[in-house]
Structure 1
Amino acid sequence: MGTEPVRVHVLAVGGTIAMTPRAAGHGVSPSLGADELLAALHAEPAGAHVSSSSFRRLPGAHLTLDDVVSLHAKVAELANRGCGGVVITQGTDTLEETSFALDLLGDAAVPVVFTGAMRHPGQPGADGPANLLDAIRLAASDAAVGLGVTVVMNGEVHSARYVQKRHTTQLSAFASPGLGPLGWVAEGRIRIPLRPARLPALPLPVPVRPAPVALFTATLGDDIRLLPLLPELGYEGAVLAGFGAGHLPAWAVTDAEALAARMPVVLASRTGAGELYRDTYDFPGSERDLLARGLIGAGAVSPLKARMLLSLALGAGLTRDAVSLAYDALSA
């Protein structure tokens, strides 16, 4: 990116990284803005000229896909104004979903890096400043170009397409099952030894109206009686997180097939890692049986991210066949 400092803009969305104690002294809530987060760094990292703004001040659990669509538009605006990279700070509760959704909305013209914190600023060993510093360094680096949307936490760099939050409290909560991190930050230097092939951006026009999509997780002994009710409740699609490599109880097969005849129904694995099978098991409720009944295989896409994809795809007007191809592309 040359010898001049790279213009990096920090967009603060809220989350633990921005939380301070409530007035009553019980618990914390997001109150810090972008400028205050940057003040904790004491100085700009070498090679970056940093600006900032506050986009939202919300817990991660309060964000919606509409917020993500607006965030995508803001990133595009910043890129058009000459920013060389964008860092987004938000709550870790939904970070794996928002970063993935932003990646699906199309390749940004500049590196986009998400980060957050597992410990709020009032706790000993708060990790927010270190994560933010690493994220700015990545956004300003040549190494970030062509990686797609990334997530930086605990000194590791992850692809938004693979990263998951795997623990409630540990600083090492974020991991990329089946792939691992793309790289790390050491002594302020960005190391990216793993560069997965970038897939073409999905044909998702912007603005997109995210469609309501239900996520249902299969559990032992459940009769899954909610499935027939989903259309009447206003859902336009559903993701079924099945057992193992993509299985449902035999008594749920009829309802799953009937639902797939009314709306797109995606079959994923509740394990959250590994690829959905297509052609191994053959019993009522197996992956062979369910795919033959019209369900769409999620491939290697986890249930949470499968729901993001289906909501954006349906909101953009993609056909069922186009939706199926999108899951195949993400699993290639």
Structure 2
Amino acid sequence: MTPRLLLLATKDLMSYRRRPPGIATGAELLAAVPALAADVTVEDVMAEPAFDLTPGTMADLARRARAALAGFDGVVVTHGLDTIEDTACLADLVAGPGPIVFTGGVRALDDVSSDGPGNLADALTVAADPAFAGAGALVCLGGEVHAGRWVTLLDADSPAGLSSAPHPMLGRVRGSRVEVLAAPPPRPPDPRGEPESEVALIRAYPGIEGNLLIAATDAGARGVVLEGTGAYNVPASLLAAISDLTDWDIPVVVASRARAGRAGLDERPLGTGLAGAVGAIGSRGLPAGKARAALMVALAAGGGVAAAREYFARL
């Protein structure tokens, strides 16, 4: 049976034309792709440029993909690379087993050696492959298949600038077939509603003061993700503010700018992870941007610290 796929085209860099200036529709993008053994329906989606993407647009893309999976075998989303990992992670957490395959490009459609059509062809191939039927949200670029929850953009100028390290790449596209290399991450807890968009992300730095956290919540943040250092460490100047926010039922999740493992803050060696003693929640190995997506989902039903703590414990 021929797979039925939905292509959601957001018109970012891979759709740009320089001569004359313009933006290709999803149908025009699809026309640049070699014939595939799939029935593809195209839907053009209004969205901001990836560098200016809003949480509402991210959630809307995930919602559209989730709804489409009731009638399609897979969904492909064209997306700018600036925030492709953020949207793919959110989609993975809220949109069910998938597959939902995100792709993009670093060159315009009419550039010499444009990478967009090839990446789109690969993404459609992955979405049609039954091996990825329960893999959740994926990102396909440069022939590589990455889990949306693991992938990171390391090189904004490279046609193959993604990495899932320390996790494995899930597969590699070779022409019209996909070589499966590793299993996807376990499925996350079921979402309980629409993601909370008001979640702040703050990077800790030497000399940072706790009033920055308070200011974020005064501006409307219902949760805060702190990007700390090392083994989920943050400066002592933030501990009082973390305690205050926890008392106000505003969760603070601590991630790390380094690889720090999945152990909870209370499982850390003596002298590290001190934020846990005043109520912070560890990100369970998620980097800060992905921890923000997870906290958005954790707070979907209007919960607070307890809901966030339970959600991250189950990731």
Shorter-chain TM-score above 0.5:
yes
- Give SS of 2:181's match: coil
CA deviations on 1:224-256 (whole Å, 9 max, x unpaired) are 541222221111110111111111122232222
Measured against aligned partners, the alpha-carbon deviations of 1:47-91 in whole angstroms (never above 9, x if no partner) come to 2122212012531123222223322332244333x3221110011
Contact 1:272 1:303 in 2 (8 A): no
Q: Structure 1: which 4+ aligned runs deviate by more than 4 Å? A: none
Partner of 2:302: 317
TM-score (norm 2): 0.91
- Number of equivalences: 313
Cα pair distance change 1:106/1:50, threshold 3 Å: closer
Structure 2 match to 1:86: 75
Show the 5 A alignment for 1:155-304: 155-196=143-184, 198-205=186-193, 208=194, 210-262=196-248, 263-271=250-258, 274-275=261-262, 278=265, 279-283=267-271, 286-287=272-273, 289-304=274-289
Q: Deviations over 1:305-325 (max 9, x none)?
A: 111111232232234233223
CA change 1:76–1:168 in 2 (3 A) is: closer
Equivalent residue number for residue 33 of structure 1? 25
1:143 counterpart residue number: 131
Give per-residue Cα distances to partners, 1:264-323, cap 9 Å, x unaligned.
11111022664466334434xx30x21011011111111001111112322322342332
Amino acid at match of 1:124: V
Whichever structure has more helix as a proportion of its residues is 2
Unaligned runs of 5+ in 2: none
Measured in 1, the distance between the counterparts of 2:90 and 2:213 equals: 25
- Give the TM-score taking structure 1 as reference length: 0.87
Question: CA RMSD of the aligned region, Å?
Answer: 2.2
SS in 2 for 1:87: strand
Q: Does 1:308 align with 2:286?
A: no
Determine if contact 1:66/1:210 at 8 Å carries over to the other structure: no
Q: Which runs of 5+ in 1 are unaligned?
A: none
Q: 1:272 to 1:118 in 2, by over 3 A?
A: farther
Q: Distance in 2 between matches of 1:320 and 1:254?
A: 16
How many Å separate the matches in 1 of 2:10 and 2:238? Answer: 40
